[in-house]
Amino acid sequence: MENRVDYQKEPAQTPVKMERTRNRKVFVPKVDIIETGDAMVMYADMPGIDEKSVEVVLEKNILTITGTVEPQDCPGRSIAYSEYDFGDYERSFTISDEVDRERIVAVVKNGVLKLTLHKAPQAEVKKITVRTE
């Protein structure tokens, strides 16, 4: 029995507060999130990106990943048929206070962005002594 998954790129919805400066399609990358004992690991499928064309920004509690893919130029050739559409990638996540913002690690390999979001150390419980005046 063959397991087949049809992968369709979904266009990103443009939020009202954001305007794009490039007149290109923007796709929402598919993401898997795995929680380990000390971190959350995110895998974002962004075919065509590399370390120079991807950006990860954390502002306030919003983690945004963006990627830019330029179509390959084939001098002396023209595309007769194409099933793959070119465009940029964008997706945002709300990050909780459990994430250590200083230890987020981003690695890209073969069009997959791996983000490791280490958990923040738990705040120690401190007992406050109550006095009389």
CATH number for the domain including 111?
2.60.40.790
pLDDT at 1 over 70: no
Instruction: Give me the domain span that covers residue 100.
Output: 39-71+82-121
Q: At residue 74, what is the residue type?
A: C
Q: What is the DSSP letter of 26?
A: E
- Is 55 contained in some domain? yes
Kindly list the distances between the CA atom of residue 112 and the CA atoms of 1, 89, 122, in Å, as whole numbers in the listed order.
27, 12, 30
119, 39 contact by CB (below 8 A)? yes
The model's pLDDT over 31-49, given as tens digits with 9 standing for 90+, comes to 999 999 889 999 999 998 9
CA-CA distance, 10 to 121, in Å (whole number)? 37
- Is 26 contained in some domain? no
Which pLDDT band holds residue 21 (cuts at 50, 70, 90)?
A: low
- The residue assigned the tokens 């981003």 is 106
pLDDT at 17: 47
